Structure 1
Amino acid sequence: MWHFPFHPQAHGNNLKYLSLVTLTLQNAILGLSMRYGRTRPGDLFLSSTAVVMAELVKLATSLCLVYLEEGKNLGRLQAALHQTIVKQPLDTLKICVPSMLYIIQNNLLYVSASHLDAATYQVTYQLKILTTAVFAVLILRRRLLPTQWAALVFLVVGVASVQLAQTGEDAGTAATRQQAMPAGDGPEQNRLLGFSAALGACFLSGLAGIYFEKMLKGADISIWMRNIQLSLLSLPFGLLTCAVNDGAQLAARGFFFGYDAFVVYLVVLQAVGGLIVAVVVKYADNILKGFATSLAIIISCVASIYLFDFSLSLQFTVGAGLVIGSIFLYGYDPAKGVKPGGARTGGKSLAEAEERLLAEKV
């Protein structure tokens, strides 16, 4: 086992802030890289295969980390895997819940994107920030201040404004194309179905995230072992998605069609993001994760000004200001003197007390 020469609470706080900063940077880099991957010349790879490969990389990395935790002893690694996965089948099956929820969520997002314009889709999906907070209150019994609820609303509005600024031109182009189409061409759209699917995806996103957070914080199992369980159960679902959605193309072109060094880089970056998310959920929480990923959108958009000729609009500026302001508002409590991140001046933080209460309940 690893030993650290400093206080565990300080170590946890260091990991909390370090993981949040790392997740923000990783998401920003991933967004820019994926945009370049879509626009560069050459054969396009199948995204469903990249998801499967990212899970494999995440599984292999988690196995290596558990191997290090067990003192670089293969026998102890095998014993730990057998004890955690084979001898505790019910605990392992619990991981099926977030895996299945994420699969259903992804399918609902596909339905929503097929029946809504890009702007409506982006704005509606930002409600996942609020559903995550609601489930944190209901499931984890987390208490949020009125200023924190206001910050979450500002965050939703800000992210939606930024996303609208990004998709406005694409939406206008799509509308022009649709007007030029003869009547009856193109798939029939059902806005009510699309909106309902988007709301369902937001609901499942919040539920799955908070459920996984409770599993990480409510049991004495390392986050890397949890990642192994999650990957082992996610891989069959990912392969099934490949077969259902891209079976014909896989049969004709092969699993690794369009792969090159850049795609391998994308796969590794995506896998690293999954591992960072687990650390964030373990040492911070899903709500702070939402702030980190929202800030990453701002960073990637600003970088796009120089890399992809993205136009900086008033709408984007206002949205970015709301996102940044909401981050400070969420961590500020004028009545009790709470600093950003939940550290109370002159006492224990409320977040730490709630985490201990959760561990005792579970």
Structure 2
Amino acid sequence: MAMLKSREQISPAEVSSQSKASAAAKLKYVSLGVLVLQTTSLVLTMRYSRTLQAEGPRYLASSAVVCAEVVKIVACVILVFRDNNCSMRTLNQVLKEEILNKPWETLKLAIPSGIYTLQNNLLYVALSNLDAATYQVTYQLKILTTALFSVSMLSKKLGVYQWLSLVILMMGVALVQWPLDSQKGPEEVTENQEPPTGFQFVGLLAVLVACFSSGFAGVYFEKILKETKQSVWIRNIQLGLFGLLFGAMGMFAYDGTRIKENGIFQGYNNVTCAVVLLQALGGLVIAAVIKYADNILKGFATSLSIILSTLISYFWLADFDPTSLFFLGAVLVIIATFLYGYEGKPVVSTSKV
């Protein structure tokens, strides 16, 4: 009978291999926890910030989107700086060569950047009119749109389990959005103040458009990344520059009058700053999860986020009245999320930072 190796008999190479495996396992679960925390906190904080009763005007969603773009650009520049041995000279050279000296490559990012800017504004509209739990479940339709755009634009093939999961996903979202006779009508609101509950149809429409824009822009961005060898951080700086331009144009076009009256940062507080930071840095978290965790763990993170959002929305925000149809739909969405990654490699949408 073979004897187990004692600690002294284990070679340094085996020890190193075991240590790496242990570290990788820890990183998986750390990234899982961080993703759950980031996803849940962003949705709940954004929802809370849009329903918080405070003196003075409410902060402008268009302004928050622009601020998030600025934070994203700064974060990506810091990451490029770190990747180039913290050399300012090298950083300037890289930015000049990859952005200014390659105008065509930079212009390719204008389309997805404009769509992402629209999507970010729509998410504020959605969470101003939907409770966090309903939003979380419905927004999982982006899995469907990403899959369809991946099949049509990247010629990807989906397995049987993946197609089945998409059907279950649509059923689950339909149940969550099933109309109830007991739903209250829209509340009257004062000028410059969005409704605590709002029109559910407006929120649903905003989520659906955001899902389609997310699917198309994500697949388009993935296609560009595969066709070039530029760093993902450089690509996100390019996205951020266009996003800043489009966001500023939209901000002054839509909220120009309010900005003249009370300034760009009207209504800002600690909650607003937290929303901006969470939205800006979310892509970095997703990038870490894609690197260290598998699709099953990402599905598990999504499921935990939906459950936590539901509980907190009900017990803390008190803006959600769960029904049996909602719970059935949420369970179907969670099942679909797991099932989508069961067979073959899942369609991964490269998210914007």
Task: State the TM-score, normalized to the length of structure 1.
Answer: 0.70
Aligned residue for 2:183, secondary structure, equals: helix
Q: Distance in 2 between matches of 1:287 and 1:132?
A: 17
* Cα deviation code 1:232-273 (max 9, x no counterpart): 111010001111110000000011111122211221111111
Partner of 2:80: 66
Contact 1:158–1:322 (CA under 8 A) maintained in structure 2: yes
1:182-197, aligned counterparts within 5 Å? none
Contact 1:129–1:287 (CA under 8 A) maintained in structure 2: no
Q: What amino acid is aligned across from residue 329 of structure 1 in structure 2?
A: L
1:51 aligns with 2:65: yes
Gaps of at least 5 residues in structure 1 are 179-188, 334-341, 343-349, 356-362
Query: Which of residues 199, 212, 219 in structure 1 aligns to 2:228?
Result: 219
Query: Which of residues 244, 250, 255 in structure 2 aligns to 1:241?
Result: 250
Aligned residue for 1:75, secondary structure, equals: helix
Label 1:324 to 1:200 Cα distance change in 2 as closer, same or farther (>3 A): closer
Contact 2:73–2:236 (CA under 8 A) maintained in structure 1: yes
1:129 aligns with 2:143: yes
Aligned length: 314
Partner of 1:36: 48
Q: Distance in 1 between matches of 2:138 and 2:44?
A: 23
* Cα deviation code 1:6-46 (max 9, x no counterpart): 8xxx8999988865653343121111112221232314211
Q: Distance in 2 between matches of 1:330 and 1:129?
A: 9
1:172 aligns with 2:186: no
Q: What amino acid is aligned across from residue 217 of structure 2 in structure 1?
A: A
Q: CA RMSD in A?
A: 4.4
Gaps of at least 5 residues in structure 2 are 1-15, 189-198, 349-353
Partner of 1:183: none
Q: What amino acid is aligned across from residue 101 of structure 1 in structure 2?
A: I
1:202-281, aligned counterparts within 5 Å? 202-277=211-286
Partner of 1:315: 325
Aligned residue for 1:172, secondary structure, equals: coil
Aligned residue for 2:75, secondary structure, equals: helix
Query: Which of residues 20, 25, 30 in structure 1 aligns to 2:37?
Result: 25
Label 1:294 to 1:217 Cα distance change in 2 as closer, same or farther (>3 A): farther
Query: Shift of residue 329 of structure 1?
Result: 1.9
Report % sequence identity. Answer: 45
Q: Distance in 1 between matches of 2:33 and 2:140?
A: 21
Query: Shift of residue 292 of structure 1?
Result: 5.6
Q: Distance in 1 between matches of 2:217 and 2:25?
A: 24
Query: Shift of residue 220 of structure 1?
Result: 2.2
Aligned residue for 1:174, secondary structure, equals: coil
Contact 1:223–1:282 (CA under 8 A) maintained in structure 2: no
Q: Distance in 2 between matches of 1:276 and 1:230?
A: 17
Bigger drift between 21-30 and 58-67 goes to: 21-30
Label 1:198 to 1:227 Cα distance change in 2 as closer, same or farther (>3 A): closer
Query: Shift of residue 160 of structure 1?
Result: 4.4
